[in-house]
Amino acid sequence: MFRLAQYGFDPSRLNYAFRTALAACLALFLAWWLGLEHPQWAAMTVWAASQPTRGQLFEKSFYRMAGTVCGAVVGVALAWMAPRHPALLVGGLALWVAVCTGAGNLQRGFLAYGTVLAGYSAAMVALLNTGHPEQVLQLGADRLATVLTGVLVATFVGYCFAPRPSATALRDRVTGLLADILAYLAEPRTEDDGRRLLARVAAIEEELELHGAGSIRSKREMRAVRGMLLATVPLLLWRREDPGAEVEPTIPAARDGSVGSTESTGRLACGDTFGADLRERLAIATQAMRRGETQTAGNALAALARSQPARAATRLEGLVIDLGKAIRIWGRRLEAPLVRARRQSRGTMILHRDWMGAWQAALRAGGTLLLVGAVWLVTGWSAGPYMLLGFAIMISVFSSFENPASTMRFVILGQLFGVLAALACRWLLWPLAGSEWQLLAWVTPFILLGALLTAHGRLASTSVDYNMVLLLLLQPAWPLTGTALSSVMMGLAVLSAPVAAWAAYHLIYPVNLQRRSEHLVAMMMREAADFARNPRALARRQAWRARFADRTLKLIRISERMARPQGRATDLSLAFFDLGGAVLRCHQLLQADETTEAARRGARLVLKRAESSAFPLPRLAAVFSRLALRLSGEDAQLMERAARALPRIAAALEVHTR
């Protein structure tokens, strides 16, 4: 093992890789023994479905089977259109893949995988038998049977050898993180401490989908964990500002609409908003969390609502109370995992969905598939179906990646390895075989080679495409037919797909971390405008807060991967938090009977200006500042913070639209 590590192999991953490779060989021989026409598809399914833990394996296998069934049905329908006119096949396939790609970009986890799989599974059924449309039903049935065989083999091998996911390790991480957050809230710390805590929250939240895979109990617990983590984000952003800082109020707007200096990010002089009672409860909750007493910690915070019944809770206290409720829900989940969470907690789980990116992914997939399909129809290239099939996979599967154009480099390299291996097997080794089972025997060394690629640190990113292309091009049928030229042409057709996809990702709605960051900023601004124009915004404030927290964590993760200072992401998130809170407070002022007429007019003006995307943000800051002069206490502070936030948002939007 030490020598393997010297050559770049990961010993811990090597066990998983060889286990999967042997399962793929078993599925290949089993599918052939059952008489299936394309036994190599069963081996491909094993590589696609296998996962390091049982839960992930079970869930991915389920969605692979469901996506294949759905895609096969659509593929059969598309293949029936081909004899009437091939353009119907291309157009229908482009539309179906576009819909599945767009929907997959709106989903998370293995559900997204199954949705995208349904798109290109239809391509596998409809395109690989274009010369014999009368056999399309048999092809669809064969596709389903081989996938089922591969899923069963992968599940059996994984159940026997894959470890169970460890829930204890994640619970310990979450408990330690919550204790550190509560301690940070109770006592002033540096801004770097707050940024590090937000980064830890973002890292754990990103892993929750995998930890909850394969078990209803785990999914419910991860839902409770996510609700708790999202509840910490507004508090950490609030603590991002020094509550003891004293700054001068923003200078009121001049007649031309300009505002005074807005550089400071402190608060108005109001003393420490974390009062003695709140600090005491945070300290109690911190100690309880360090002892692992989650219910005690949650009760200490949630009881803040009953500590001073004579007055309504402040905005800060409301956030602490929400965190306490979320901690109690998680505690109940640990004590009774099968008990359903309260119905009112469902509203907090309305998370971020990148509608803009999904729409662009659908247009990119559908439009480019039409273009590539038109090239095939015009040229009549015999290997065109392989090109179109490969392109359908490339343009859909990788659309949700952070930087698909960059990923295509590894895909092209892996597929090149797969093509060369397939040509070597077909024209150097298969001529030595004397029967069909010997053809399968000659394939197994190349499958085992895929295990070495999977376990190698630098080549692991090419292993999936090597394994898939190798098995896609090797059709074990005796006696052997075809020519070396036709095999080379099929290999070139397969390699052309990732090259075309690379160009598409570069030229059509380019996707990278910068663009995803721009989408997040634009959607945060759009939602603030939507809340300003929506008279029922107050009923949706919990959903807005959860979605805002989710977007904040994603913005932080993107900033980390772009090697940007994390302070930019937290500053911008804090600006949107203050803006959204001020907009919601304006709705409350309009509904409150005690609001003065001057404040009511100011709140109406703020909402009217905020709902217009064409209204300049610096002028909107002046409107917030004028409203702050008509209010007092926490309301005035909130409007001032919104006024100071808008120039930062305007600067971010200007950078993102260049």
Q: What is the pLDDT of residue 267?
A: 34
Strand partners, 268: 247
Q: What is the pLDDT of residue 657?
A: 44
Q: What is the pLDDT of residue 306?
A: 63
Which band of pLDDT confidence, cut at 50, 70 and 90, is reported for residue 53? confident
Give φ, ψ of 9 to 5 degrees.
-90, 145
Query: Residue 344 pLDDT more than 50?
Result: no
Which band of pLDDT confidence, cut at 50, 70 and 90, is reported for residue 536? confident
Q: What is the pLDDT of residue 4?
A: 65
Mean pLDDT of the chain: 84
Query: Residue 489 pLDDT more than 50?
Result: yes
450 assigned to some structural domain: yes
As for how many domains the chain has, the answer is 3
- What is the rounded average pLDDT of the residues 515-522? 87
248 assigned to some structural domain: no
Domain boundary among 295, 320, 349: 349
258 assigned to some structural domain: no
Which band of pLDDT confidence, cut at 50, 70 and 90, is reported for residue 340? low
Does residue 88 share a domain with residue 20?
A: yes
pLDDT digits (tens, 9 = 90+) for 267-287: 333 334 567 778 888 889 999
Does residue 473 share a domain with residue 379?
A: yes
Who's near 153: CB < 8 A, 6+ residues apart? 23, 26, 27, 30, 42, 46
Does residue 132 share a domain with residue 188?
A: no
Does residue 502 share a domain with residue 393?
A: yes
Query: Residue 208 pLDDT more than 50?
Result: yes
The whole-angstrom distance between residue 266's C-alpha and the CA centroid of its chain comes to 34
252 assigned to some structural domain: no
Q: What is the pLDDT of residue 255?
A: 32
Query: Residue 315 pLDDT more than 80?
Result: no
Q: Say which residue, 34 or 269, is predicted with more confidence.
A: 34
Q: Residue 600 and residue 591: Cα distance in Å, rounded?
A: 9
Strand partners, 9: 456
412 assigned to some structural domain: yes
Q: Which domain holds residue 571?
A: 513-656
- What is the rounded average pLDDT of the residues 623-650? 90
256 assigned to some structural domain: no
Q: Say which residue, 250 or 285, is predicted with more confidence.
A: 285
Q: What is the pLDDT of residue 228?
A: 92
Does residue 365 share a domain with residue 343?
A: no
Query: Residue 251 pLDDT more than 50?
Result: no
Domain boundary among 328, 349, 370: 349
251 assigned to some structural domain: no
Does residue 374 share a domain with residue 288?
A: no
* pTM to 2 decimal places: 0.84
Contacts 24+ apart (CB under 8 A), 26-35: 26/153, 26/157, 27/149, 27/150, 27/153, 27/154, 28/440, 28/443, 28/444, 28/447, 29/437, 29/440, 30/149, 30/153, 31/145, 31/146, 31/149, 31/150, 32/436, 32/437, 32/440, 32/476, 34/145, 34/149
**In the numeric block, which tokens belong to residue 103?**
């929907």
254 assigned to some structural domain: no
Does residue 342 share a domain with residue 370?
A: no
Domain boundary among 478, 507, 536: 507
pLDDT digits (tens, 9 = 90+) for 604-633: 999 999 988 777 888 899 999 999 999 988
Which band of pLDDT confidence, cut at 50, 70 and 90, is reported for residue 419? very high
Strand partners, 456: 9
Q: Name the DSSP letter for residue 253.
A: P
Query: Residue 348 pLDDT more than 50?
Result: no
Q: What is the pLDDT of residue 97?
A: 96
Q: Residue 381 and residue 374: Cα distance in Å, rounded?
A: 11
Does residue 307 share a domain with residue 201?
A: yes
Query: Residue 423 pLDDT more than 90?
Result: yes
When mean pLDDT is compared across 341-345, 393-397, 402-406, 421-425, the lowest value belongs to 341-345
When mean pLDDT is compared across 65-69, 314-318, 445-449, the lowest value belongs to 314-318
Residue with tokens 């002046």: 622
- What is the rounded average pLDDT of the residues 10-15? 83
Does residue 553 share a domain with residue 479?
A: no
Does residue 606 share a domain with residue 531?
A: yes
